Amino acid sequence: MTERVRTWRPEWPCPVGQILGQSRRGGGDPTYRIDGARHWRGLRTPDGPASLLVEARPADAVVEARAWGPGAAWALEQLPPLLGADDDPSGFEPRLPLLEEALRHHPHWRVGRTGLVLEALVPAIIEQKVTGQEAFAGFRRLVHRYGERAPGPGADAGLWIQPGPETLRAIPSWEWLRMHVGPARSRTVVRVAGVAGSLERLTAVPVDEADRRMRSLPGVGRWTSAEVRSRALGDADAVSFGDYHVAADVGWAVRGTPMDDDELEEFLEPWRPHRGRVVGLIALSGLRRPRRGPRMAPRSHLPAR
Radius of gyration of the chain (CA): 19
CA gap 58, 63 in Å, rounded = 8
pLDDT in tens, 115-148: 999 999 999 999 998 887 888 999 999 999 999 9
Provide mean pLDDT across the span 224-239.
98
* pLDDT over 70 (residue 288): no
* pLDDT over 80 (residue 293): no
pLDDT for residue 265: 97
CB neighbour list of residue 129: distance below 8 Å, 6 or more residues apart: none
CA gap 186, 205 in Å, rounded = 27
Q: Identify the helix (H) or strand (E) that includes residue 184.
A: helix 183-193
Q: Cβ of 129: how many Cβ atoms within 10 Å?
A: 12
pLDDT for residue 134: 87
What is the 3-class SS of 24-38, one letter each residue? CCCCCCCCEEEECCE
CA gap 226, 208 in Å, rounded = 11
Q: Cβ of 3: how many Cβ atoms within 10 Å?
A: 12
> CA dist 52 to 29, 44, 62, 132, Å?
15, 11, 16, 26
Average pLDDT along the chain: 93
Q: Identify the helix (H) or strand (E) that includes residue 51.
A: strand 48-57
What are phi and psi for residue 33, nearest 5 degrees?
-130, 145
* pLDDT over 60 (residue 295): no
pLDDT in tens, 153-192: 999 999 999 999 999 999 999 999 999 999 999 999 999 9
Type of residue found at 100 = E
Closest CA to 184 of 225, 144, 238, 221: 221
pLDDT for residue 305: 38
Question: Cβ(202)–Cβ(213) under 8 Å?
Answer: yes
Closest CA to 238 of 198, 205, 280: 280
For residue 49, the cross-strand partners are 44
* pLDDT over 90 (residue 296): no
> CA dist 209 to 142, 199, 258, Å?
30, 12, 31
Provide mean pLDDT across the span 31-43.
96
Percent of the chain with pLDDT over 90: 89
Provide mean pLDDT across the span 190-204.
97
